[in-house]
Structure 1
């Protein structure tokens, strides 16, 4: 099959131009001046499909490097399967996810990796790769890191929170960082001081403060800043690059920026919830009451920060200045019924997570529409940088000959209203209910196949394949 996307404005991280994109089979064959001929023939007459992108942007498919499909947490599992979650991602303009293989202390790392393959294989609508979560680092974990790098799993996530579940102590973190420095893996960190947070949580519960908003109040920004600084210092000694997931506090951004200014190979992502939502949203429909369980919809870790402390403005600034490099979703959805409701008597029992995989591209495009981001920076943080950061660039994250035919035709004159009534995630509410987007995903191609046509999903279960990733292209 040959497909020609014609008449659109092709946008990269470095510029834009009116051009035609020719896809031959699964890969991009050429990016041509409008009306160009190929071997003396009229291109439109020599291809199987022509997609008219006039008045629209032609951008590389989104790469969401932080999802948790089917993740077991808090006595339940994330409500999106690999089938439902990747279908929703596709409809929203994302053509690649990198999901986290979950390993708890009593589980074998490699067994969990193979289990994730069983969950995903034959079920994904789009291409996918894996990161590996490591909890309670032991000698076997370090050996597994080498084996997984050879399998194309080249990034590993550690935790400074969730004692008895995910937390590794500083010595274990240091050993894992040393292994990363040795084998070239990119080390990723959930940076919150879990020991102090656990005390604050218990004190709140003892005082009878059990409503959802106390989830955020017991995880103050100081604990994210402290853990961020501590992780950077450990990485400095170990000599490893370091990537911070879901940065939510402006003070954590300052620690990352300071390390980068010193020349350290330190990176950070943030998520749409920290760019648009605030702690005050957890007050629910009654802003003068602290007892509204609707706030459970926005329980995630790190928590939403207070809109009065300047975090949102600083995160946008950091994205513009490259002190933060990209935006992921940390997609980990739990339904209100039977899942979030597990914490109705105590915020500490509410499963942590928000569902956003369908909306990331739209929410970031809205920043273009309102002047917060340039069109090129929008492409950079949603596609190009995550592809480079996680060893996929050249194949993903760019529209150029030889790249996979992962292309989104985005209509800036379209409109999107986000609602649980119309979204495609397996989720009974929307954290983004009523958000209006001045743009719309029109067409999505994954490796040359149209999987979304005029906003309608036309792909199939199993269209996606596993991606064996190389090392990060940001490592020095």
Structure 2
């Protein structure tokens, strides 16, 4: 059935204009003023923006960690994402050493294919690099369409790899057309500082931040950037949280090194004092990198505005406060790292960024959708509004006000880190490939309707998008 979205204001990463959008099947077939389409379902977007569906490049759904598993799976997680204006997520597929890469990928397919309500893809963790792994990478890229690889420089004895592994991964990515993603913290120094804190009886949640100071994030970011330059490869630094890391990314980019950076809403609006909340409430805010002193927020916002950071991901990694986070009472190292962010990512960036004049409306679209689509091989089918693209659309009321709360969110977790925060701007209806997932703030989607996306190689020339209007 055709759908005709009328009376809205279309906003992309480059433009803002009033027009109607005609959807036929899964794609946008026409854009123009006063479009007519016999038999089309009419959708009124008066006083609303129409954005391309959000793309969250950083999620951890149904992920094992610290002896437990994240609370949100691909059903609840993607449903919450849709309520928040996100129509595509890229989740991290964790591997085990000496195990075929395909085995890990198959596990993630099993977690997602009958549950996801929106489209999704995977990044693949690289935990070792040898001839056996190298031989498997072409199939991962060409057959599975997984063109991004995650390397951890932290979590010693769990995920952390050495510099040789990172360097060889960068070289392989350059040759095969992949993008290397890095969790940039110096895990060896963290291990030392953590052991020292525990020996001194410093066990409260705040010491999670004290043992992971911003200097070690900056050091690891700079090291990864230098190795990227040496290998003439490409790097994406996930969850940038501090001025020191931003500085290293800026330095590398000035030298012409292909380094891109992502930050997250939590680092833009929360600070490390939340870790000091009494009655172990600080555990709700334990994730890595940790929250920083408040002045880092201004640095991050400026980096988004000036283009030194390119995307905003959620780093969705939810654990219940009761029954999971409280595993770390008496020892902050046993608090599962992560928070529930996926649902509020888009609204927070609009409310705190656009409404407060920190970023433009076009930058908002670029940060929440378009740039991720381009970096991760989804553009132009995803990430913009144009004839021929997937009809992933968000009808967004820029004037709606709401208060964030665990009592009203759709994530499966028992708390919200932004509890009580008032935000302006809210998705009203969300379409994924032409079908409503959210309509008038009500879920109308279906588990299993989300489609696995095979992605283009990094650096693939952007496909030309039809620039003509189809006669209807």
TM-score, normalised on structure 1? 0.95
Question: 2:184–2:237: 8 Å Cα contact kept in structure 1?
Answer: yes
Question: 1:334–1:351: 8 Å Cα contact kept in structure 2?
Answer: yes
Question: 1:4–1:47: 8 Å Cα contact kept in structure 2?
Answer: no
Distance 1:181 1:475, change over 3 A: farther
Question: 2:49–2:395: 8 Å Cα contact kept in structure 1?
Answer: yes
Aligned to 2:359, the other structure's residue is in SS state coil
Deviation, structure 1 residue 106:
5.3
Deviation, structure 1 residue 3:
0.4
2:312: which partner in 1?
327
Deviation, structure 1 residue 454:
1.2
Aligned pairs for 1:13-32 within 5 A: 13-32=13-32
Deviation, structure 1 residue 472:
2.8
Distance in structure 2 (CA, Å) of the matches to 1:301 and 1:108: 28
Deviation, structure 1 residue 474:
8.0
**Which stretches of structure 1, 4 residues or more, deviate above 4 A after TM superposition?**
473-476
Question: 1:418–1:436: 8 Å Cα contact kept in structure 2?
Answer: yes
Choose the corresponding residue for 1:305, options 292, 315, 320: 292
1:85 maps onto 2:70 in alignment: no
1:416: which partner in 2?
402
Instruction: Render the CA deviation track for 1:277-301: whole Å, top value 9, x for unaligned.
Output: 11011111x5xxxxx4100000000
Instruction: Render the CA deviation track for 1:53-111: whole Å, top value 9, x for unaligned.
Output: 01100010000010000111000011101011001101111000000001133543221
Distance in structure 1 (CA, Å) of the matches to 2:274 and 2:82: 28
Distance 1:179 1:473, change over 3 A: closer
1:258 maps onto 2:251 in alignment: yes
Question: 2:229–2:258: 8 Å Cα contact kept in structure 1?
Answer: no
Question: 1:390–1:473: 8 Å Cα contact kept in structure 2?
Answer: no
Distance in structure 2 (CA, Å) of the matches to 1:326 and 1:203: 35
Question: 1:161–1:193: 8 Å Cα contact kept in structure 2?
Answer: yes
Aligned to 2:450, the other structure's residue is in SS state coil
Deviation, structure 1 residue 373:
1.3
Instruction: Render the CA deviation track for 1:349-407: whole Å, top value 9, x for unaligned.
Output: 11100111111110111021111111111111001111011000111001101110100
Distance 1:318 1:47, change over 3 A: farther
Choose the corresponding residue for 1:361, options 346, 353, 357: 346
Distance 1:107 1:334, change over 3 A: farther
Deviation, structure 1 residue 473:
4.2
Distance in structure 1 (CA, Å) of the matches to 2:287 and 2:293: 14
Distance in structure 1 (CA, Å) of the matches to 2:339 and 2:14: 32
Deviation, structure 1 residue 208:
0.3
Choose the corresponding residue for 1:374, options 357, 360, 363: 360
Aligned to 1:443, the other structure's residue is in SS state strand
Question: 1:135–1:165: 8 Å Cα contact kept in structure 2?
Answer: no
1:456 maps onto 2:445 in alignment: no
2:41: which partner in 1?
49
Question: 2:87–2:119: 8 Å Cα contact kept in structure 1?
Answer: yes
1:76 maps onto 2:63 in alignment: no
Choose the corresponding residue for 1:212, options 194, 199, 205: 205
Distance 1:463 1:139, change over 3 A: same
Unaligned runs of 5+ in 1: 37-41, 287-291
1:289: which partner in 2?
none
Distance in structure 1 (CA, Å) of the matches to 2:290 and 2:241: 8
Question: 1:388–1:474: 8 Å Cα contact kept in structure 2?
Answer: no
Cα RMSD after superposing both structures: 1.3
Moved more, 92-101 or 233-242: 233-242
Choose the corresponding residue for 1:278, options 267, 271, 277: 271
Aligned to 1:439, the other structure's residue is in SS state strand
Instruction: Render the CA deviation track for 1:316-344: whole Å, top value 9, x for unaligned.
Output: 00000000001000100011111111111
Distance in structure 1 (CA, Å) of the matches to 2:156 and 2:421: 36
Choose the corresponding residue for 2:91, options 99, 102, 105: 99
Aligned to 2:95, the other structure's residue is in SS state coil
Distance in structure 1 (CA, Å) of the matches to 2:133 and 2:32: 48
Distance 1:341 1:475, change over 3 A: farther
Choose the corresponding residue for 2:328, options 325, 343, 366: 343
Question: 1:128–1:467: 8 Å Cα contact kept in structure 2?
Answer: yes
1:39: which partner in 2?
none
Aligned to 2:380, the other structure's residue is in SS state coil
Distance in structure 1 (CA, Å) of the matches to 2:234 and 2:329: 40
Moved more, 76-85 or 139-148: 139-148
Aligned pairs for 1:130-279 within 5 A: 130-150=122-142, 151-279=144-272
Distance in structure 1 (CA, Å) of the matches to 2:85 and 2:39: 24
Deviation, structure 1 residue 475:
8.9
1:318: which partner in 2?
303
Distance in structure 1 (CA, Å) of the matches to 2:461 and 2:125: 20
Question: 2:228–2:258: 8 Å Cα contact kept in structure 1?
Answer: no
Question: 1:395–1:402: 8 Å Cα contact kept in structure 2?
Answer: yes
Deviation, structure 1 residue 137:
2.7
Aligned residues: 460
Distance in structure 1 (CA, Å) of the matches to 2:253 and 2:136: 30
Unaligned runs of 5+ in 2: 463-472
Distance in structure 2 (CA, Å) of the matches to 1:93 and 1:222: 34
TM-score, normalised on structure 2? 0.96
1:111 maps onto 2:108 in alignment: no
Question: 1:241–1:475: 8 Å Cα contact kept in structure 2?
Answer: no
Aligned to 1:275, the other structure's residue is in SS state helix
